[in-house]
Amino acid sequence: MVNETNITNLLDLDLKGMESFFLGLGSKAFHGRNVFKWIHKHGVTDFDAMTDISKRLREQLHQCAEVTVPQLVFEQPASDGTRKWVLELQDGQRIETVCIPDDGRNTICVSSQVGCALDCSFCSTARQGFNRNLTVAEIIGQIWVASRKLGTAPSNIVMMGMGEPLANIDAVITAMNIMQDDLAYMVSKYRVTISTSGLVPALNRLREVSDVSLAVSLHAPDNELRNKLVPINRKYPLEELIPACREFVRGDKRRKVTWEYVMLDGINDSLQHAKALIRLLEGTPSKVNLIPFNPFPGTHYQTSPADRVEAFRMRLKRSGIIATTRKTRGDDIDAACGQLVGKVRDRSSRELRLDKLDTIKLGIS
């Protein structure tokens, strides 16, 4: 929620912003670094508990600043250890964050918007409508809450929750800076992943300012089918998307584009589709993540049979493409891929559609 008062939520500031804020108070930049570390490294939100800050400065902070995190209102565990956290924002909207444990590591799936406007036909989140972008505080606040619940910073962070991250690019970039900062959560750039449906101008901008890992919701090997499954393709077709992705990972031999490909029975799962996908990705360092479709009420899609998914994967593998089948996690609590819905109280912004995704709304200058 946008703060309409003169009180600054310090969760909205990355390290550089925090230093500038304290300089603006007539203080020193190192005080900003200290408070930044208190908030993110130690989870402290009470200025009076920040013992290396002078009493005078603490009193000043009480007048002009706050540390307000989303409120955890519901937690649900799945049979496989996955946990879904429902967080309520200051305006009453609710978002969902998912924690996926695996061999001593924890991956946190983070939301970037209240709902989603891109209307992908196989995604439950799209059915909920769209209200607004999340602030930096509401994005990084999910990591703050997760770290407190886990007792440690997450091992991996994926911007794959509710919403299209690149439609909220400014806030997402700042939040990802905080995630990687040594005074905060210290997550490697290779372990912070941003997932996009293909907003090419925003992707090009992201390449200039960040080198996190990239995942792309592809789901089809040609424009005709992708137009139906992922409508943003009508605005930014594969002829634009694939070169932009290739450029994003250029120059770093460790990096590959992860292509997310949901397997829909009789829609995109034939060997002919696999061959077309191989041709499409030729020349792009790639990893294909095949995702069994996670059903939700009202959908007309069905999950591809396991043997067809495996045949698809083996065909990609024989061509030299790294291909894995994602193990479905948290589907018994609707925490699996494409199932996050939150609670969109006001859908008045639902008109934010493909024809309105202009450069202003993408935050591109």
96 catalytic, yes or no? yes
CB atoms near residue 252 (< 10 Å): 12
Give the integer Cα–Cα distance in Å for 335 and 342. 10
User: Is residue 272 within 8 Å of 311, Cβ to Cβ?
Assistant: no
User: Is residue 102 within 8 Å of 330, Cβ to Cβ?
Assistant: no
Three-state DSSP state, 37: helix
Own/partner long-range contacts of 65-68 (Cβ < 8 Å, ≥24 apart) = 65/7, 65/8, 65/9, 65/10, 65/21, 66/7, 66/8, 66/9, 66/10, 67/9, 67/10, 67/11, 67/39, 68/9, 68/11, 68/137
88 catalytic, yes or no? no
User: Is residue 230 within 8 Å of 198, Cβ to Cβ?
Assistant: yes
- In terms of Cβ atoms closer than 10 Å to its own Cβ (0-12, 13-18, 19+), residue 327 is exposed
- Of 282, 310, 337, 351, which one is the catalytic site residue? 337
- Of 19, 96, 138, 260, which one is the catalytic site residue? 96
Of residues 69, 53, 71, the one with CA closest to residue 61: 53
Q: Which residues are catalytic?
A: 96, 337
